[in-house]
Structure 1
Amino acid sequence: MDDQHNRIQTRLAEIVEATKLTGAGRLQEATDMIQRGLFGRQTPSASGQTIDASYRIESSGETAKPMGSAGIIPEGLQERLRDALGQVARKFNLPGNSGLSPTGLQGSGLQGSAFEAFDPTSFFRDGTAKGPPAGDGTFTERAFSNAAGSRDYKLYIPSRTVAQPPLIVMLHGCTQSPDDFAAGTAMNQLADAEGFIVAYPGQSMRAHGQRCWNWYQPGDQTRGAGEAEIIAGLTRAVMSEHNVDPRRVYIAGLSAGGAAAANIALAYPELYAAVGVHSGLAAGCAGDISSALTTMRLGPSTPVGVAQAQAARVPTIMVHGESDTTVNPRNGEHVLIQAGVEALNPSTSEGVSPGGLAFTRTRYADETDRVVVESWVVRGLGHAWSGGDPSGSHTDRRGPDASRAMVDFFLAHRLDRPRY
């Protein structure tokens, strides 16, 4: 039953993503996705990109219509989409199993339709933030742009800072916003207590319809281009404007944000002194949407990016829930492998959080007895920020405090210390 549910979730995510790719004009990727999601095959065509024998998208010299234009999805394909969504609704008693009319898919940008009700992220959505998080400092909206692109972000300057404050860059998960992520992690309150600055880049809906960071796209994973270069440039801009200590700059994220943080830290090891990956994935573990969905569900088949990581080890803290059904806990294990734990000395302790969730904490030390990798595996925790504030989404207040653990780990690392 769980396997069937996972397969349906994956197929549904593929269908929804395909409609977004089509609206963005990425026809070949959309066609491949629809074929895999609906028909389980690909049928190449010499004259166009074929969805199947009945539905063809001719892309030579054409530009796709905007998502709000009628007819962007062929009528026959709409029928298959409605059938698939209706089956999911009836099988799992999900909301939205009514109103699956043709007009719900035509001419409306898919808003208010079955696709909105069947948003795949709702399988792990936990709520939304009601407003800006508490804190005694200033929380302002900013914008950044460079040759790679632009993103808005929120910046928290605590009420108390030191002469050269540390900086933590926080990358939210899918469907989240900077306000939401700040509320759920309560990182601004820790910033007030410890005197560091926090930057919360916000993913644009133009870049991804569910505000996911594009961690699985090769153009956004590596140095000098895409979202990796945007976040690195944003980091440098904040450092320059606020006289941040260049030795104490850190990056962390949840889910898609955790995977993006892993990519960015590996691409810019001279910029970030440590990285935190919560419910995320190893750098470079996927190269397209299909492999991303598979890796999220099953974990990587083999360790990825280990050779590249060995050239510039970045101290890493990983937090993952054993009950995470959105990002398989095996992904957390591969984050640790990529961080080089096989060559380090582990020390493990067991505990129970004040909220009643048992956890295993493992600290990995180098030959000088310096802890350079840390792991928190929390039993009973799903796809949620451990110990987070329920005013933010994707949180579980019962778990150990992941924010406190990350801050403690980060502040123990500086770039002037040798890499291990």
Structure 2
Amino acid sequence: MREAAQQILGKGMHLHRPAAQPTMRDINPPPPNAAPSTPEQEAAHARAQAPNPATHPAEFAQDMLNRMGIKLDLQANLDRAIDLGSLHHAPASEPLPEGAQFIRGSYSNHAGMRNYKLYIPSSYHGQAMPLLVMLHGCTQNPDDFAAGTQMNQVAEEMGCFVVYPEQPANANHSKCWNWFNAIDQQRGQGEPSIIAGIAQQIIETYPVNERQVYVAGLSAGGAMAVIVGTLYPELFAAVGVHSGLPFASAQDLPSALTAMKRGVNKAAKAGNGSQPIIVFHGDSDTTVNPRNGEQVMAQRLHHHRGARPSVQSGAVPNGYSYTQTTHTTADGTPLGEHWVVHGAGHAWSGGSSSGSYTDAKGPDASREMLRFFRTVS
């Protein structure tokens, strides 16, 4: 709704007015509070009473709507949209390192079209690099997710491409990836095919190291990362999940809400998805039950019954404590890591307040994910 108002105020609307006519002036102007008596005075009075677009943009927009005969309470609708969280303000863009780029792109196939943003680190000079696909959570966008996770900064240090597909409001009102739809849990269909297609497009455009392509996400994006990794194991070498859910944990919106609140009664087998996985979840998450993190790990380890767990604890200075469980094969090959952040809610651990849904008091999930990915490929 704010965007609609801005269009009315700015370039989105061009009012064509007739050429200005000479103004007739009364040599004996009426008293200040006198009612206008001539057409010219009435027009001048109306202009004087109209809200100033520079100082009262909302009132000016409402006045314009009223003059056009559009019956819409702009402020009421704007307040409602804000309350619903459907309006999101992108954070101020942080300056990029010299030589780095954060560019826009798009991809389309039979399932639809999605825009994305691609981070190219300053160290890129034509050499092969890993690629990480980052899937944002509900109400977020690529700029917000990049700012909050600080993944571009970590990728700058480690030399990695990062692509952020964008879920638009016309695909889901809250910009959530539709992880709970049956069509979006199938290879070659729906959103998984688009996300995989974006990764493939980057691979075809840049010299990506195809053995080092990863997918990660937060919340709905975390659930979709599990789905995409499961459906395209030949494309993605490892998966990162933050506050997400197991593969095929819901078939519709009611079952999705149940899974988020309680976990899944019986998680489906994760198909061919046997790649290494790293999972972060706050044990005080009231949006997605922490049981889901346990089930994501159990689902993936189903393919590796001989996995050996190793548990260690730690704490962030002036922050949360955490428990890290590492699963390996008998020969020490890493299969997965499960980080439980004690006291953390539904937020990206170790993130920056410049983005939404972050909590700086936890261990740095972005850095740990990229570290884990490098160890498994």
- The alignment's TM-score, normalised by the length of structure 2, stands at 0.76
Q: 1:298 to 1:110 in 2, by over 3 A?
A: farther
2:63 maps to what in 1? none
Q: 1:355 to 1:155 in 2, by over 3 A?
A: farther
How far apart are the structure 1 equivalents of 2:175 and 2:72? 23
Superposition pairs for residues 387-406 of structure 1, below 5 Å? Answer: 387-406=350-369
How far apart are the structure 1 equivalents of 2:346 and 2:365? 13
How far apart are the structure 1 equivalents of 2:273 and 2:232? 9
Confirm or deny that 1:361 pairs with 2:316: no
Superposition pairs for residues 2-401 of structure 1, below 5 Å? Answer: 112=77, 115-116=80-81, 118-119=83-84, 129-136=90-97, 137-161=100-124, 163-306=127-270, 308=271, 311-340=272-301, 343-401=306-364
What letter matches 1:325 in structure 2? T
2:4 maps to what in 1? none
How far apart are the structure 2 equivalents of 1:412 and 1:388? 22
- The alignment's TM-score, normalised by the length of structure 1, stands at 0.69
Indicate conservation of the 8 Å contact 2:247/2:267, yes or no.
no
Q: 1:303 to 1:108 in 2, by over 3 A?
A: farther
Structure 2 residues without counterparts, runs of 5 or longer: 1-70
What letter matches 2:290 in structure 1? P
How far apart are the structure 2 equivalents of 1:256 and 1:128? 20
Q: 1:293 to 1:108 in 2, by over 3 A?
A: farther
What letter matches 2:77 in structure 1? G
- Tell me the CA shift for residue 245 of structure 1: 0.7
Q: 1:209 to 1:110 in 2, by over 3 A?
A: farther
How far apart are the structure 1 equivalents of 2:251 and 2:269? 12
Indicate conservation of the 8 Å contact 2:216/2:241, yes or no.
yes
Moved over 4 A (4+): 106-111
- Number of aligned residue pairs: give it: 302
Indicate conservation of the 8 Å contact 1:129/1:183, yes or no.
no
How far apart are the structure 1 equivalents of 2:263 and 2:76? 32
- Tell me the CA shift for residue 335 of structure 1: 0.4
What letter matches 1:130 in structure 2? P
Q: Quick check: which has more Rg, 1 or 2? A: 2
How far apart are the structure 1 equivalents of 2:74 and 2:222? 30
* Secondary structure of the corresponding residue to residue 317 of structure 1: strand
- Tell me the CA shift for residue 371 of structure 1: 1.2
Structure 1 residues without counterparts, runs of 5 or longer: 1-105, 415-420
Q: 1:194 to 1:117 in 2, by over 3 A?
A: closer
What do the CA deviations read for 1:93-128 (whole angstroms, capped 9, x no partner)?
A: xxxxxxxxxxxxx97899717753552x69xx9x85
* Secondary structure of the corresponding residue to residue 156 of structure 1: strand
What do the CA deviations read for 1:356-413 (whole angstroms, capped 9, x no partner)?
A: 2000001000122111100100011100000001100000001000001100011112
- Tell me the CA shift for residue 132 of structure 1: 2.5
* Secondary structure of the corresponding residue to residue 377 of structure 1: strand
Q: 1:110 to 1:412 in 2, by over 3 A?
A: farther
Using the TM superposition, name which of 276-285 and 296-305 deviates more.
296-305
What letter matches 1:112 in structure 2? N
What letter matches 2:245 in structure 1? L
